[in-house]
Homo-oligomer: A and B are copies of this chain.
Amino acid sequence: MHRTPIPLNAVLRAAASAVGRKEKEGPLGHLFDLRDPTDRFGAKTWEGAESEMQRQALNLALAKLDWTDQDPQALFAGDLLNQCVGSAYGLLSFDIPYFGLYGACSTCAEGLLLASIAITGGAFSKCATVTSSHYCAAERQYRTPIEYGAQRAPTAQWTVTGAGAFLLTDGKDGAPRGVRVVRGLPGKAMEAGINDANNMGAAMAPAALDTLLRFFRATQTRPEDYDRIVTGDLGFEGGAILSDLMLAQGLPMGDRYTDCGQLIYHRKSQDVHGGGSGCGCSAVVLASHLLPQLERGELKRILFLSTGAMMSPDSLKQGENIPAVAHLLELEAPHSSL
């Protein structure tokens, strides 16, 4: 059956985003639902702040549909923190069956893909997905505590402080609107010899290439068949590498290619070096920038790939390279606006 793209039939009925100060000050800042200029979200720890962002993002999404936590039959969630505690604690207060995921920054697409598979197959009619990252929690876990003031490498990316929540249905609830998930393709874990945690875009670009090539070959489509091809957090370095690799394969993506990590910050004035990254990066850009464009019919059909780098600080110290994965979703504007 499917090592090729999976036909899916799920509807993205609502999404919500919560972000911190730097994201609020970026070019998409006005689009996010909730913006906390303190980055703390009322919590005493950065990890607690990340959990609280997840809780608030899911609550906001539920409120948009006038749902309670009794509506979704399953919750797919994950984050970057050790043992995914951002999700485990952040979503404790919801009475929803819980599937924990770890796909690093690919978690947004991984959760949406698994939820869409379960909905398409009839296991659930309503699902929620949530993911997040927090700059301060990620820096002290992966690199150094921010208080050290360590200098950042030119290719280093800035972990997005943000959480995105999504509500999906089988579309049988009578509501015609909603972006449709029409195909999906899970990524393969792979590594291409990169072991520099300050250049994750380069580590993840080959995984995105593999998923895109498999998708285009199997569907016999080309980049120009889609209004946008959007990766999650390759940033400026990884995005340029992916563009070059696709060009070399005879599939130039041109201007229709972009990356959430390139969109979320002002490159120069916000001093973000390689661009944004983190589970929250593709989640909040999808929730508050891409989905609304699809809903309004400004975009008809896009390919969305979250990209994940699945190393740990310990695995790099032990001399391992960075394994990466990229999960793909084909998203379509609501039929009523076509």
Residues in A lying within 8 Å of B, measured CB to CB: 1-3, 6, 44-45, 47-48, 70, 73-74, 78, 80-85, 88-89, 91-92, 95-104, 110, 114, 117-118, 120-126, 185-191, 308, 310-315, 318, 320, 323, 325
CA of A96 to CA of B188 in the docked complex: distance in angstroms? 6
Contact status A100-B325, CB under 8 Å: yes
Contact status B83-A187, CB under 8 Å: no
Residues in chain B near residue A311, CB distance under 8 A: 83, 85, 88
Contact status B188-A98, CB under 8 Å: yes
CA of A127 to CA of B126 in the docked complex: distance in angstroms? 24
Contact status A310-B85, CB under 8 Å: yes
Residues in chain B near residue A80, CB distance under 8 A: 83
Contact status B85-A82, CB under 8 Å: no
Q: Which residue of B3, B96, B100, B189 contacts A91 across the interface (Cβ within 8 Å)?
A: B189
Q: Which residue of B70, B121, B189 contacts A123 across the interface (Cβ within 8 Å)?
A: B121
Counting from the closest, the 7 A-B pairs by CB-CB distance are A121-B121, A97-B186, A83-B312, A102-B102, A88-B310, A98-B189, A1-B125
Residues in chain B near residue A313, CB distance under 8 A: 82
Contact status B45-A92, CB under 8 Å: no
Contact flag A82-B84 (CB < 8 Å), given A92-B190, A191-B92: no
Contact status B186-A99, CB under 8 Å: yes
Residues in chain B near residue A117, CB distance under 8 A: 117-118, 121, 123
20 new A-B pairs (CB below 8 Å) besides A98-B187, A100-B103, A120-B121?
Answer: A1-B73, A1-B122, A2-B123, A48-B318, A83-B311, A84-B102, A85-B312, A89-B315, A89-B320, A91-B189, A92-B190, A92-B191, A97-B186, A100-B102, A100-B325, A114-B118, A117-B121, A118-B118, A121-B121, A121-B122
Query: What are some 11 contacts across the A-B interface (CB < 8 A)?
Result: A47-B318, A78-B102, A83-B311, A88-B315, A91-B189, A92-B189, A97-B186, A98-B188, A100-B103, A100-B189, A102-B102
CA of A243 to CA of B293 in the docked complex: distance in angstroms? 53
CA of A320 to CA of B48 in the docked complex: distance in angstroms? 10
Contact status B82-A2, CB under 8 Å: no
Residues in chain B near residue A187, CB distance under 8 A: 97-98
Residues in chain B near residue A185, CB distance under 8 A: 97
CA of A47 to CA of B319 in the docked complex: distance in angstroms? 12
CA of A101 to CA of B320 in the docked complex: distance in angstroms? 21
CA of A103 to CA of B125 in the docked complex: distance in angstroms? 23
Contact status B310-A83, CB under 8 Å: yes
